Structure 1
């Protein structure tokens, strides 16, 4: 029996992949993103221990709704690759049920480990916190090199993927850096679309509850005008924007 730690479940999710999806939010994350809205997912064993068999039974119960809406299973986090055996086994069980599968990841994972997931994935949602490595390290505590390597792997494996980036004013909203990301992605064949997500403060209270310093307390969400301007940079490269 394969077990792992989860943070929560969403049975009818609509923002973590195509259609309606059963979303498993795993526990544990190696990143420390300054804007993280779920810092309570960081510690692995702070979650609920559950088996993949139990989860797949829950998923099968609503399988007709998922399939009817063009959806499936998304494993998110936290960072699901922190629990590779658990994540891989759940993906295998989902594919055995002919479910569409997606993995939402920061890409901070060893390439050889990530390769093991590929045969059981239909889609990867990959978060590029910043294309600028220095900014990425300041914002998350880790380099973006593994993330970019995963993108190259997905291209080589001909695996469809979406790229997501949170737009944080004065940090990840720099026109020059966004242009570099757009140019980099414009050369990719298996990128389906890009999602620029406006920074929000919804997780601020969790930081306070956990006794953590929220360094972005003075930062406000980006304006619709700024978001439109950044989206246009990708459209100029004929990249689909969500």
Structure 2
């Protein structure tokens, strides 16, 4: 029986895919994004063991509600592709149950997603942290290329994508980098929208509870003019930016 480790689950509306969604937070992540709001999902050891049957039993309690509300199930984390067999089985079972499926991923582990896993995924929420290689490395501790390769593969497969871009003043607001990302995304035929997500500090208390420093504690959030400017940059390339 397939099992994995999860942090928690929740219901959300409007931020984790269309409609009201059952959101499963899968444990473990290979990146250490400076603005991460969920440091409590970084380590597999901090999760709890569950079987796919147990997850599906929980989802089934809300199946009618999320379906009526035009939603479905979203796998997030952490990074769901750190546990690809577990995530793939949940996505397959959800599709068999007639539920809309979404995968929230950085794409850093995109090679772990089989074509079969992606065939059971109606929507990928692809988090592209920066389009500047050096900034990406400093911001996440990882490399940009795997995410771009995954984005290109999703386009080839025709998998619907929403791009998620966290706007952090001094880090991801560089005009040239935003333009570069907008050009890249506009060259894909499967991107339905770009969500420009303002940096926030709602996860600061989690860092304190875990006894680790929040790297961007003193970093300001973006003002409305900056948010509008970045949305306009994506819009200039024909992308629907929100």
Q: Give the TM-score normalised by the residue count of structure 2.
A: 0.96
State the partner residue of 1:22: 22
Q: Say if 2:8 is the partner of 1:8.
A: yes
Structure 1 residues 112, 203: closer, same or farther in 2, change over 3 A? closer
Work out whether residues 110 and 147 of structure 2, in 8 Å CA contact, stay in contact via their aligned partners in 1.
no
**Counterparts of 1:212 and 1:156 in 2: how far apart (Å)?**
41
Counterparts of 1:226 and 1:89, CA distance in 2: 41
Is residue 13–residue 23 contact of structure 1 (8 Å, CA) maintained in 2? Answer: no
Q: Structure 2: which 5+ residue stretches go unaligned?
A: none
CA deviation after TM superposition for structure 1 residue 117, in Å:
1.4
Residues 85 and 99 (structure 1 numbering): CA distance in 2 closer, same or farther, change over 3 Å? same
Residue 132 of structure 1: aligned partner: 132
CA contact (8 A) 1:73 1:99 kept: yes
The superposition leaves residues 200-219 of structure 1 with CA deviations (integer Å, 9 ceiling, x where unpaired) of 01111222222222221220
1:66 CA displacement: 1.4
Where does residue 238 of structure 1 map in the other structure? 238
Cα offset, 1:135, TM superposition = 0.4
SS in 1 for 2:104: strand
Does the Cα contact within 8 Å between 1:103 and 1:123 map onto a contact in 2? yes
| Counterpart for residue 40 of structure 1 | 40
- Runs (4 or more) in structure 1 with deviation over 6 Å come to none
3-state secondary structure, aligned to 1:118: helix
Conserved 8 A contact 1:13-1:22: no
For residue 14 of structure 1, report the CA deviation from its aligned partner: 3.4
Q: CA offsets per residue over residues 63-98 of structure 1, 9 Å max, x none? A: 121111211110000000001111011111111101
Alignment of 1:142-153 (within 5 A): 142-153=142-153
How do residues 67-82 of structure 1 correspond to structure 2 at under 5 angstroms?
A: 67-82=67-82
3-state DSSP class of the match of 1:225? helix
2-side partners of 1:14 and 1:237: how far apart? 24
What are structure 1's unaligned runs of at least 5 residues? none
Contact 1:6/1:50 (<8 A) preserved: yes
Contact 2:178 / 2:230 at 8 angstroms: preserved in 1? yes
Corresponding residue pairs, total: 242
Matched, 1:177 2:186: no
1:12 is displaced (CA, Å) by: 4.4
TM-score by length of 1: 0.96
Distance 1:10 1:112 in 2: 25
* RMSD of Structure 2 on Structure 1 (CA): 1.2
